[in-house]
Structure 1
Amino acid sequence: MARRLIKRLFPNYHAVRDYESLRLFGAVLHDPNLWHLNRRSVAGAFAVGLFIAFLPIPAQMIAAAAIAIMVRVNLPISALLVWVTNPLTMAPIYLTAYTVGRIILDEPKRGFSFELSIAWFTGELLTIWKPLLLGSLILSLVASLFGYLLIRLLWRLHILRRIQEKRQRFKEKRLSRRG
């Protein structure tokens, strides 16, 4: 069931291989390990995708794809999971990251106002980059570890449930032959 759900939710090999932004990877996209749907590959893809998603970097999909290729985990899942940080979730995630970093670095709480201008970026970003980066790294590590362990656990529970169902069907079949 999990495998069918993943296959239905995520694009197939040919669709992802033809993404314009992923063509720079060339022939390495033909590695079958990048497309497998097994416990190791999917859990690793969640770890990679969630790690990159919480980092305030440009080209997150390309970074996630590059790491997925290096560690040979499911490429489409890794690349698409970076969309956890999207225009709706970006502000609360990075504000949380800044707060975590500020608390760890023991920096004082300061007033914060956002303004979409070059002056704001050059002034404010220079003062908040350390706590933002530290908090983002911590959130990235926590999210990737949690995602990895959760997928491993859910996959294992699914397999155990299927084994129990098979055993039950086998018992029922054996009992029906006796009767």
Structure 2
Amino acid sequence: MKIFTYLRKYLPTVKDIQQYRYLHIFGDSLKQQELWSFNRQSTAKGVAIGLFCAFLPMPFEMVPAIFLAALMRGNLPFAVAGIWISNPLTWIPLYTPCYLLGAMIIGVEPVALHQITIFQLGWHYVALWLGCLIVGIVISVSVHFIISAAWRSQVRQRWKRRKQIRLTRGKTDTPAK
């Protein structure tokens, strides 16, 4: 995969990571090779972790994404990049369906944003979190399986192509009688 060789040039190495003092709060967990490798499992886990954390309605989603990537040994750059779908421009389209799902599950009547009072905020915040957790889990698990399946399909196609090349070479190399 050419894109991964391109990305490796610009991503920091484990030695580069050790030089940053402010990353010592994560301990030795950032030194794991799986966090920086581009294979099927770590890449799929990294993207899934990033998307899950993007659906968390909280500031600083990168901190749980880094901890989850280190804990589950997912690709850290993809985990951090997956969070970027959640930003102030995408909050309304991202969190509104989650809020409506959570409100439907706990039985709270959804209200418009300008109508929420301080007394109602508690249950609506619970509805938002519940909906975000459910949608985040469903999307991240789905994306994990889609990436794994696409990766396996690409590997199978490469093997078939190599096999065809070997077969055609074998037919041309055999001497004629």
Q: Which band: TM-score by shorter chain?
A: 0.7 to 0.9
Question: One-letter code of the match for 2:3?
Answer: L
Displacement of 1:131: 1.1
| 1: CA distance, partners of 2:67 / 2:22 | 11
Pairwise CA distance, 1:28: 2.8
Structure (1 or 2) with the larger CA radius of gyration: 2
Name the SS of the counterpart of 1:113 in structure 2.
Answer: helix
Distance 2:83 2:22 in 1: 15
Q: Distance between the aligned counterparts of 1:99 and 1:21, measured in 2?
A: 39
Distance in 1 (CA, whole Å) between partners of 2:152 and 2:24 is 34
Does structure 1 retain, via aligned residues, the 8 Å contact 2:44–2:147? Answer: yes
Go from structure 1 to structure 2 and tell me whether the alpha carbon gap of 1:170 and 1:45 turns closer, same or farther (over 3 Å shift). Answer: same
Q: Is the 8 A contact 2:55 2:86 kept in 1?
A: yes
> Shift of the alpha carbon at 1:108?
2.2
How far does the alpha carbon of each residue in 1:103-145 deviate from its partner, in whole angstroms, 9 at most, with x for none?
222322433338xxxxx78566434102101100111101110
Corresponding residue for 1:117?
none
Report matched runs for 1:149-160 at 5 Å.
Answer: 149-160=145-156
Q: Distance in 2 between matches of 1:121 and 1:146?
A: 36
Q: Which of residues 152, 170, 173 is equivalent to 1:174?
A: 170
After TM superposition, give the deviation of residue 149 of structure 1 in Å. 0.5
From the superposition, tell whether residues 55 and 21 of structure 1 become closer, same or farther in structure 2 (CA, over 3 Å).
Answer: farther
TM-score (ref. length: structure 2): 0.84
**Relative contact order: is structure 1 or structure 2 higher (C-alpha 8 Å, sep ≥ 6)?**
1
What SS is found at the alignment partner of 1:88?
A: coil
Q: For 1:170, what is the secondary structure of its paired residue?
A: helix
Aligned residues with identical type, % of pairs: 30
Q: Secondary structure at the match of 1:13?
A: coil
1:62–1:79 Cα contact (<8 Å) kept: no
Q: Structure 1: how far apart are the matches of 2:134 and 2:48? A: 13
Q: What are structure 2's unaligned runs of at least 5 residues?
A: none
How far apart, CA to CA, are the structure 1 residues paired with 2:22 and 2:63?
7
Tell me if structure 1 keeps the 8 A contact 2:108–2:123: no
Check if 1:129 corresponds to 2:125.
yes
Indicate the residue corresponding to 2:81 in structure 1.
80
List alignment gaps of at least 5 residues for structure 1: 115-119
